Amino acid sequence: MDNELVELVMEDTRGKMAKAIEHVKAEFATVRTGRASSSLVENLLVDYFGTETPLRQLANFSVPEPRLLVVSPFDKTTMAAIEKAITIADLGLNPSNDGQVIRLAFPSLTEERRKGFVKMVRTKAEEGRVALRGVRRHARQELETLEKDHGLSKDEIERLEKVLDKMTQDEVAVVDAMLHHKEQELLEV
């Protein structure tokens, strides 16, 4: 019984940490690097007949050139709403509409803009690390509850806390590696 509860806590912790890593990846994907990528705009909310709808549900994306993203709406009547959503998002992109598709030209990033993006990415990475440590703290509280309610030994709790610490360090290392990769991508001219 006790081992099953402990295993449930550990499995839950692994799952929550994996979700935190996925969230950081998604956050990093929204930071533009000077290359065209649909991940920058696909989650933008567009006012589609009074309903806020993610752009990915309203259009296809293609990248014919490294610095050009083409948005092809399924319904041509949504073009104005899509253009408005892109403009409001303040991504530094000017949509150009030819009646069939919307073209987004990605300008080269200035050095100042690159450094600003690096700072933003570092903040997102730190938020990810904080989330991971929060998951660890929650797991420790659950283990302490098991210790009180189910009589887990101090040695067992200590062993599990070391496992939690190792798990957290490994996941933080993943965030750090993702941060390093994204910084290199952003600083690449």
Q: CATH no. for residue 69?
A: 3.30.1360.40
What type of residue sits at position 168?
T
Choose among 35, 77, 74: nearest CA to 56. 74
Of 54, 70, 105, which marks where a domain is finished? 105
Residues 23 and 61 in one domain: no
Determine how β-strand 51-54 pairs with β-strand 68-73. unpaired
Of 105, 128, 162, which marks where a domain is finished? 105
The CA-to-CA distance between both ends of the chain, in Å, stands at 57
CA 143 – CA 152 distance, rounded (Å): 9
CA 125 – CA 178 distance, rounded (Å): 8
CATH of the domain at 121: 1.10.132.20
Residues 133 and 90 in one domain: no
CA 175 – CA 155 distance, rounded (Å): 30
Residues 18 and 66 in one domain: no
- Kindly report the pTM of this predicted structure: 0.71
Residues 115 and 89 in one domain: no
Output helix, strand, coil percentages for the chain, rounded to the nearest 5: 65, 15, 20
Range of the domain at 135: 2-30+110-187
- The DSSP element (H or E) to which 137 belongs, if any, is helix 111-150
pLDDT higher than 60, residue 1: no
At 70-106, the pLDDT tens digits run 999 998 888 889 998 888 887 777 888 888 899 988 8
At 118-174, the pLDDT tens digits run 898 999 999 999 999 999 999 999 988 888 887 778 888 899 999 999 999 999 999
Residues 140 and 173 in one domain: yes
Taking CA atoms, 93 is separated from 27, 89, 99, in Å, by 19, 9, 18
Give the per-residue pLDDT at 132: 95
Number of domains in the chain: 2
Q: Angle 111-150/2-29 helices, nearest 10 degrees? A: 170
